[in-house]
A and B are shown apart, each in its own frame.
Chain A
Amino acid sequence: MIELQGLTKRFGSKTAVDDLSFQVRPGVVTGFLGPNGAGKSTTMRMALGLDHPTSGSVRIDGRHYRELDEPLKYIGALLEARGLHGGRTAYNNLLCLAQSNRIPESRVTEVLELVGLSAVTRKKPKGFSMGMGQRLGIAAALLGNPQILMFDEPVNGLDPEGIHWIRNLMKTLAAEGRTIFVSSHLMSEMALTADHLIVIGQGRLLADTSMADFIHRNSRSYVRLRSPQRERLLDALHGAGLTAVEAGDGTLEVDGATAEQVGDLAARHGITLHELSAQRASLEEAFMRMTAATVEYHAHSATVPQWSKEV
C-alpha cells in the first residue's frame, strides 16, 4: 500500500505536485495517468525518497521510505531514466543492489532469467538496446521479491513480445496480492493492464476510480446494431422513444439504452439482429476529455498547412 497525504512539490515558483492525496491498494494494477509535465515522475520519485516533498508525505506500508529496513524487499521500482551503470555487467549491477539489501546472490540469476536476459548476464548494459535496458531495470525492481512495485513507463523500448510479457507479469503480480503502480502514456496499453486509475493533471488529482467507472463517466457509451430489417428496427426503436444514429457502414448507434433493453425490444418485434453490441469509448477518449484543459504542449491540427510553393 502506498499512501499519499497532501503531497506537494515546488521547484522554485512552479508547483509540480499540488496537494496530492490518494492510496494505491494491493491486489490490483493501478494505472497512473497524466499529460507530460503533470507530475507523475516527481510523485514516484518522492515515493522512493529521492525527491523531498515541499509539504505532505508519502508512506509505504505506513512508513516513510527512509524508515524502511532493506527497502528493496518492500518496494521495487523502475524509473524512466536508466538507473544502472553502463560499464558494469548486468549481473554485477544487480549483485551490488542485492548485497546492499542482503538478498541472496542466487536471486540475481533468477531475476535475470525471468526477464529473458540469461544470455547477456556478463555483458555490460552500455551495449544494450533500450528494450534490454528496460528488462534489466525490471529485473532490478523484482530483485527483492517486493510486495509493492512501481513502474514508470515500463513498455518504453520493449518489443511486442516484451510488452505482452510485462503486461501479464504486472497482472499476475497484482493477482498475488501485490501493489502495482504503473505510469504510462499508452492508453491502449493501459486499458489492457490496469484495473484502477489515478489521473493527475498539473500536479492535481483529477480522478481516482476504477477503469470501468472512469470510461463510463468520461465518455459516451452506446449500443451498436446491425439488422437485415433496418426499417422495422428503426420504427421499433422510435416507438420505444429511442433515437438511432446511422453510422457509416450500415450500422445503427443507439444512445440511452442498454444492449439488454434493445435485445428484448427486437425480440418482442421479431426483428432479426445481426449485431447487438454494447460499445464503450476507449480509455484514450475518456482521458482526452478529462485532461483537455491541462495539456502543456498542444499540437495544433492534424493537417499540414498548405505550403505555398514559391521557392
Chain B
Amino acid sequence: MIEAVGLTKRYGAKTAVYNLSFQVRPGTVTGFLGPNGSGKSTTMRMILGLDRPTSGHVTIGGHPYRQLPNAPRQVGALLDAKAVHGGRSARSHLLSLAQLAGIPARRVDEVLGVVGLQDVARKRSSGFSLGMGQRLGIAAALLGDPQVLLFDEPVNGLDPEGILWVRNLMKALAAEGRTVFVSSHLMSEMALTAEHLIVIGRGQLMADMSVKDFISANSADFARVRTPQTEPAQREKLMGVLAEAGGQVMSEPDGALRVAGLPLPRISDLAHDADVRLWELSPHQASLEEAYMRLTQGAVDYRSTTDQRAGLMQQPDPMGYAPAQQVVVPEVPQQGWYAPPPPGQNPYAGAPQPGAQPQPPQQQQRPYQAPPAAAPPAPAAPPAPAAAPADLSKSEDAR
C-alpha cells in the first residue's frame, strides 16, 4: 500500500506536484497517467525517497521510504532503464544490488531467468538494446521479491513478446496480492493492464477510480446495431423505434447503427417488438485514450497543430468516425486533435489521390511556391496550452 497525503513539490517558482493525496492498494494493477510534465516522475521519485517533498508526505506500508527496514526487500522499482553501469555484466549488476540488500546470489539467477536474460547474464550491459536494458531493470525490481512494485514506462523498447510478458507479469504480481503501480503513456496498453487509475495533470489529482468508471465518466458508451443488409426497410423501422424510445441514433459508414442512451436489452426488446431481425448487437465502450484525452485537455504542454499550409491534414479522417463521435458527445468542446477539415478550398487540391503514383519532383515543390496567404483559415484554434516557460526546458522525461 502506497499512501500520499498532501504531497507537494516545488522547484523554485515552479510547482511540479501540488497537494496530491491518493492510495495505491494491493491486489490490483494501478495505472498512473498524465501528460508529459504533469509530475508523474517527480511523484514516483518522492515515493522512493529520491526527491524530498516540499510539503506533505508519502508512505509505503505506513513508513516513509527512507525509514523502511531493508527497503529493497519491500519495494522494487523500475525508474530509468539506463541507470545501469554499462561496463558491468547483467549478473554482476544484480549481484551487487543483491549483496547490498542481503539477498542470496541464487535469487539473481532466478530473476535473470524470469526476465529471459539468462543467456546474456555475463555480457556487459552496455551492449544491451533498450528492451534488454528494460528487462534488466525489471529483474532488479523483482530481486527482493517485494510486496510493492513501481514501474515507470515499463514497456519502453520492448518488442511485442516482451510487452505481452510485462503485462502478464504485472497482472500476476497483482493477483498475488502485491501493490503494482505503473505509469505509461500508452493508453491502449494501459487499458489492457490496469484495473485502477490515478490521473494527474499539472501536478494535481484529476481522477482516482477504476478504469471502467473512468471511461464511463469521461465518455459515452454506445451500442452498435446491424440489421440484415437485404432489408433496408427494417433498418428505417428500427431507427424510428429507437429514436422514439429516446435513443440517439447515428449511421456508421458500413450501414450499422450507433445507438447511445439505451441499454442493450432495451434495444433488443424494441427490435423484437418491431419484428426486426438483428445481425449485430454489440456493446461499445469508448477507448481509454478517448476518455483520457477529454479529461486532460488543457493540461498538455506541447500540442501539435494542424499543418495549415502544406495541406497535410486537411482531409477528413479516412475512417469517417471522427464526425460521428462528435455527434455522440456534442457537449465535448472542439479539440485541436479532433479538428475537422477546415472550410474553404485546399490550395493543393491537386494533391495525389490514394493509389496515385507519387509526382515528379518539380511538382512536389509546388506547395512551397504557393504563397502562405493562400492557406485556408485555421480551424477552431486549440485552447492555448499556456505552458509556463519553465516547463519547456524541464519537461518530465528530461530530468
A35-B160, A274-B268 known; A158 vs B393 contact (CB < 8 Å)? no
Segment at the B interface, from A12-20, A111-119, A237-245: A111-119
What mask results when residues 17 to 28 of chain B are scored 1 for a CB within 8 Å of chain A, else 0? 000000000000
A163-B187, A305-B110 known; A263 vs B395 contact (CB < 8 Å)? no
Residue of B nearest to A146 (CB): B364
**A284 in contact (CB, < 8 A):** yes
**11 CB < 8 A contacts A-B:** A35-B161, A114-B305, A115-B304, A144-B364, A155-B186, A175-B315, A177-B356, A187-B163, A263-B277, A295-B161, A301-B114
In the complex, A78→B95 CA distance in Å? 38
Task: Count how many chain B residues have C-beta atoms less than 8 Å from C-beta atoms of the other chain.
Answer: 104
**CB-based closest 5 A-B pairs:** A277-B282, A129-B397, A27-B354, A188-B188, A147-B358
Q: Which of A164-213 contact B (CB under 8 A)?
A: 164-165, 168-169, 171-179, 185-189, 192
What mask results when residues 152 to 166 of chain A are scored 1 for a CB within 8 Å of chain B, else 0? 000111111111110
Partner among A70, A156, A168, A266 whose Cβ is within 8 Å of the Cβ of B361: A70
State how many angstroms separate the Cβ of A104 from the closest Cβ of chain B.
5
Segment at the A interface, from B6-14, B166-174, B323-331: B166-174
Q: Are A176 and B352 interface neighbours, CB within 8 A? A: yes
What mask results when residues 140 to 152 of chain A are scored 1 for a CB within 8 Å of chain B, else 0? 0010111110000
State how many angstroms separate the Cβ of A37 from the closest Cβ of chain B.
8
State how many angstroms separate the Cβ of A153 from the closest Cβ of chain B.
8
State how many angstroms separate the Cβ of A287 from the closest Cβ of chain B.
6
State how many angstroms separate the Cβ of B342 from the closest Cβ of chain A.
13
In the complex, A79→B337 CA distance in Å? 25
**A247 in contact (CB, < 8 A):** no
Partner among B186, B226, B318, B319 whose Cβ is within 8 Å of the Cβ of A189: B186
**B107 in contact (CB, < 8 A):** yes
Task: Count how many chain A residues have C-beta atoms less than 8 Å from C-beta atoms of the other chain.
Answer: 103
What mask results when residues 116 to 131 of chain A are scored 1 for a CB within 8 Å of chain B, else 0? 1111100100011111
Q: Are A273 and B278 interface neighbours, CB within 8 A? A: yes
Partner among B159, B173, B186, B191 whose Cβ is within 8 Å of the Cβ of A304: B173
A129-B36, A267-B278 known; A298 vs B361 contact (CB < 8 Å)? no
A35-B160, A159-B35, A177-B352 known; A123 vs B393 contact (CB < 8 Å)? yes
Partner among B36, B158, B358 whose Cβ is within 8 Å of the Cβ of A61: B358
**B213 in contact (CB, < 8 A):** no
A110-B310, A304-B173 known; A73 vs B361 contact (CB < 8 Å)? yes
In the complex, A10→B213 CA distance in Å? 52
Q: Which of B178-231 contact A (CB under 8 A)?
A: 185-189, 191-192, 224, 226, 228
In the complex, A162→B302 CA distance in Å? 8
Please indicate the chain B residues that have their CB under 8 angstroms from the CB of A231 in the complex: none
**B127 in contact (CB, < 8 A):** no
Please indicate the chain A residues that have their CB under 8 angstroms from the CB of B33 in the complex: 160
**A87 in contact (CB, < 8 A):** no
In the complex, A266→B393 CA distance in Å? 62
State how many angstroms separate the Cβ of B257 from the closest Cβ of chain A.
13
Q: Are A132 and B302 interface neighbours, CB within 8 A? A: yes
Q: Which one of B159, B163, B172, B368 has the highest number of Cβ atoms from chain A below 10 Å of its Cβ?
A: B159
Residue of B nearest to A195 (CB): B318
Q: Are A160 and B368 interface neighbours, CB within 8 A? A: no
**B250 in contact (CB, < 8 A):** no
**A99 in contact (CB, < 8 A):** no
In the complex, A201→B337 CA distance in Å? 35
Q: Are B172 and A302 interface neighbours, CB within 8 A? A: yes
Q: Are B307 and A114 interface neighbours, CB within 8 A? A: yes
A135-B302, A284-B164 known; A276 vs B281 contact (CB < 8 Å)? yes
**B379 in contact (CB, < 8 A):** no
Q: Are B165 and A299 interface neighbours, CB within 8 A? A: yes
Please indicate the chain A residues that have their CB under 8 angstroms from the CB of B282 in the complex: 224, 275-278
Partner among A35, A159, A310 whose Cβ is within 8 Å of the Cβ of B159: A35
Segment at the A interface, from B51-59, B61-69, B129-137: B129-137
Please indicate the chain B residues that have their CB under 8 angstroms from the CB of A147 in the complex: 352, 358-359, 364
Please indicate the chain B residues that have their CB under 8 angstroms from the CB of A276 in the complex: 278-282
Please indicate the chain A residues that have their CB under 8 angstroms from the CB of B304 in the complex: 114-116, 135, 161-162, 165, 169
**A256 in contact (CB, < 8 A):** no
Residue of B nearest to A285 (CB): B164
Partner among A142, A175, A267, A272 whose Cβ is within 8 Å of the Cβ of B277: A267
Q: Are B160 and A33 interface neighbours, CB within 8 A? A: yes
**B306 in contact (CB, < 8 A):** yes
**B355 in contact (CB, < 8 A):** yes
Partner among B185, B318, B337 whose Cβ is within 8 Å of the Cβ of A175: B318
Q: Are B160 and A177 interface neighbours, CB within 8 A? A: no
Q: Are B368 and A187 interface neighbours, CB within 8 A? A: no
Q: Are A74 and B114 interface neighbours, CB within 8 A? A: no
Q: Are B159 and A36 interface neighbours, CB within 8 A? A: yes
State how many angstroms separate the Cβ of B246 from the closest Cβ of chain A.
18
**B383 in contact (CB, < 8 A):** no
What mask results when residues 243 to 278 of chain A are scored 1 for a CB within 8 Å of chain B, else 0? 000000000000000011001101100101111111
In the complex, A2→B356 CA distance in Å? 14
**A228 in contact (CB, < 8 A):** yes
Q: Are A260 and B279 interface neighbours, CB within 8 A? A: yes
Please indicate the chain A residues that have their CB under 8 angstroms from the CB of B187 in the complex: 160, 163
In the complex, A115→B165 CA distance in Å? 33
A1-B357, A188-B189, A263-B279 known; A106 vs B306 contact (CB < 8 Å)? no
Please indicate the chain B residues that have their CB under 8 angstroms from the CB of A187 in the complex: 160, 163
A74-B358, A119-B387, A145-B310 known; A259 vs B279 contact (CB < 8 Å)? yes
In the complex, A310→B104 CA distance in Å? 8
